[in-house]
Amino acid sequence: MLYTQPDLHDQITRLRARHHRVPAGGRPAGQRTGEESWLRRLELAHTRIRELTDEIASLRTQLAVAHGRQRADRITTPPAPHTN
């Protein structure tokens, strides 16, 4: 019913065009913000993955050293006598 009235139809068309206008950046502001937020989250995830990868490497080194010490102790320490 609104669209049968030319003046209202023209105004609705203008308002829709103004509302859906794409800014100079190529995307609507809300979409840019969402993309920037997504990129920031992705960057933080990559940083966290690098941190965890470094931590895992450090823990593996510590574990290897502990196993080496344990093995060395078994080799150099005579077994305790059994008491029954």
Report CA dihedral (53, 54, 55, 61) to the nearest 10 degrees: 110
Q: What is the pLDDT of residue 9?
A: 77
Question: Residue 24 belongs to what domain range?
Answer: 5-76
Would 83 be classed as within a structural domain? Answer: no
* Count of structural domains, the chain: 1
Average pLDDT of the residues in 22-51: 82
The two three-digit tokens of residue 36, written as one number: 């920037």
Confidence of residue 24 (pLDDT cuts 50, 70, 90): low
Would the pTM count as exceeding 0.75? no
71 in any annotated domain: yes
Amino acid, res. 81: P
Q: Write down the pLDDT at residue 82.
A: 78
Q: Is 57 a member of any domain?
A: yes
| Residue 23 within a domain | yes
Residue 81: inside a domain, yes or no? no
Instruction: List the single range of 6-20, 22-36, 43-57 with lowest mean pLDDT.
Output: 22-36
In a domain, 22, yes or no: yes
Q: Is the pLDDT of residue 20 over 80?
A: no
